[in-house]
Amino acid sequence: MSTFLLVHGAWHSGRCWDRVVPLLEAAGHRVFAPSLTGYGDKAHLLGPEVGLETHVDDVAGLITRHRLDDVVLVGHSYAGLVISSAANRVPDRVGHLVHLDAMVPVDGESAADVQPATLHMIEQAERSGEGWRVPPMPERPAPFGLFGVTDPADVAWLRTMLSDGTVRCLQQPVRLDNPAVNAIPRTHIHNVGATPPGVVRRPVPPVQPNGTPAQVWELPTGHDCMITMPAELGELLLKLA
């Protein structure tokens, strides 16, 4: 039995994994899919002080609280930053890092550094309203849809779990100063469907920090593959169990 910890991206909640969790559990694995502070059942905790470090506390705290070991730590989108810093804190408890269509930082980088498109969101937030709220990205015409989701029923379901984020989440830097984190094997899963203008993906270096060849898999779908291709995503994750 393996332990999977699935970490959602910005604006989403842990419910986005609802179609994937049963597939992993049916294969006999233990699965956690929490909502980060400020989202889902923790939406009432959102405030300007919530940032990347808050979410790292959420993930690292869950791992230590439940005494999890050899965790397959999956981060979608913004959560690529979260899992990186969480692994930096508890590298001895993480067995594999999975960057799922995710931001992949180096030490000291923020979301704004990794994904420059977020700079516009920060500027808009600072000029309007309370100055710190960052609303979800808007739905675009097909083939982009809402985070790559275009089926009307799926879009309606996705809307029920989206809520505002914060400027602080996009500005706080990742900490990757623990050499032990480099030994953790990692896999990159890229969703290679339509990509909205302005969104960029960094190329994956051919060699991982631990010296082994890079492992990059692709899914022919949009950004929220856990909604559009849950079975296919589940099959890929089970390869790491």
Residues involved in catalysis: 77
Structure-token pair, residue 210: 């631990």
Local structure of residue 32 (DSSP, 8 states): E
Answer whether 241's CB lies under 8 Å from 2's CB: yes
Nearest-Å Rg of the Cα atoms of the chain is: 17
Strand order in the sheet with 94-100: 30-32, 3-7, 71-76, 94-100, 186-191, 216-219
- Contact (Cβ atoms closer than 8 angstroms) between residue 223 and residue 148: yes
Q: How many CA atoms lie within 13 A of 38 on its CB side?
A: 29
- Only one residue has tokens 């990347």, namely 52
The answer to whether the CB of 218 falls within 8 A of the CB of 99 is: no
Judge residue 190's burial from the number of C-beta atoms within 10 Å of its C-beta, 0-12 exposed, 13-18 middle, 19 or more buried. Answer: middle
DSSP-assigned letter for residue 146: B
Say if CB 140 and CB 199 are below 8 A apart: no
Task: State the helix-helix crossing angle for 52-65 and 79-89, rounded to 10 degrees.
Answer: 50
